[in-house]
Amino acid sequence: MPSTKSFQRWQIGEVTITRVIEMEVAGGTKFILPQANPSAVLEMPWLVPHFATPDGKLIMSIHALVIETKDRLMLVDTCIGNDKIRAIPNWHQLSLPFLEDLADAGYRCDQFDTVMCTHLHVDHVGWNTRLVEGVWVPTFPNARYLVAAEEFHYWQQAGPDERGDDIFGDSVAPVMEAGLMDLVEADHQVAPEVRLMPTPGHSPGHVSVHITSQGQRAVITGDCIHHPCQIEKTDWASTADFDQQASTETRQKFLAEFSDSPVLIIGTHFATPTAGFIKAQDGHHILEPYLST
């Protein structure tokens, strides 16, 4: 798979947010959002061309987001990772240049002081660790890794997932054992400009990340909104949602809070341009893409 060098950057006051892509894919999302068949997708023409193809296939991205303040360097969600044994063939034992791309964006692993996982699913924790001489070691040795306590405790007792992937064992437990993990409240203030906000439903302790600086604001969604189509169709819950009723309620609350506001919504799986503003339109909501430079 070719390396993706298209870094997307947003400025929120004095905070810089940078997207580093691990992989971007069109189609193959039927198992995540079963209602999103091509004809239903094309009933939402605002999704094309950024978030769906002209023939109605959803486009999704797996990426990490770097938050840089004047004295902090933080990473939100760590994608799938390399060398992990995974049941999904396209995610199995990857060998992708993610860390090289992170370096090309200007960030070395040892510079990060904080790593945040919005939740502990397979595509959000992978680069927490990397394989060194057969052992999973923390990729970001100088970072505190923050995980909502409720999320951690749920997955700690859950064991390997239904496909047999030992996500907790290879990507979470080694960080805890290395003494680098802090379990926090779902509304934890991470830095003066950055706080977690609880958005449960996709997983038990799911959080989004709120950024504010000099009166400007942004929110990194995590998977409470997997794909922008769920902004119009809030009841299109993901098959991966732990509690579909709760995830739908979280989406509705999220839209009520941020619709027609100047808060930039940055999606954890939204394809390029990845960010936009939520607008009320004809009795529903849409994401108006923010086409930055």
Q: Which residues bind Zn ion (CB under 5 A)?
A: 123, 223
The residue among 15 and 76 lying less far from Zn ion, judged by its C-beta, is 76
CA dihedral 255, 257, 260, 264 (to 10 degrees): -90
Instruction: Supply the minimum distance, in Å, between the C-beta of residue 222 and Zn ion.
Output: 8
Q: Please count the other Cβ atoms lying within 10 Å of the Cβ belonging to residue 278.
A: 24
Q: Which is nearer to Zn ion, 108 or 163 (CB)?
A: 163
Nearer to Zn ion, 22 or 223 (CB): 223
**Cβ closest to Zn ion, residue 61 vs residue 69:** 61
Given phi > 0 = left and psi -120 to 50 = alpha, else beta, which region is 225? beta
Enumerate the β-bridge partners of residue 19: 8, 65
Tell me the closest approach of the beta carbon of residue 223 to Zn ion, in angstroms.
Answer: 4
CB of 253 to Zn ion, least distance (A): 20
CA distance 88 to 92: 6
Q: Shortest gap between Cβ of 240 and Zn ion (angstroms)?
A: 7
Residues near 137 by beta carbon (within 8 Å), at least 6 away in sequence: 129, 130, 131, 174, 178
CB of 118 to Zn ion, least distance (A): 8
Q: Is 85 helix (H, G, I), strand (E, B) or coil?
A: coil
Q: C-beta of 71: minimal distance to Zn ion in Å?
A: 30
- The residue count for the chain: 293
Question: Which helix (H) or strand (E) element contains residue 191?
Answer: strand 189-191
Residues 6+ apart with CB under 8 A from 200: 186, 206, 243, 246, 247, 250
Nearer of residues 123 and 165 to Zn ion, judged by Cβ: 123
Q: Give CA–CA dist 127/107, Å, rounded.
A: 14
Task: Give the shortest CB-96-to-Zn ion separation in angstroms.
Answer: 16
Q: Give whichever of 15 and 75 is closer to Zn ion, judged by the CB atom.
A: 75
Pairing of strands 275-281, 284-289: antiparallel
Closer CB to Zn ion, 68 or 123, in the complex: 123
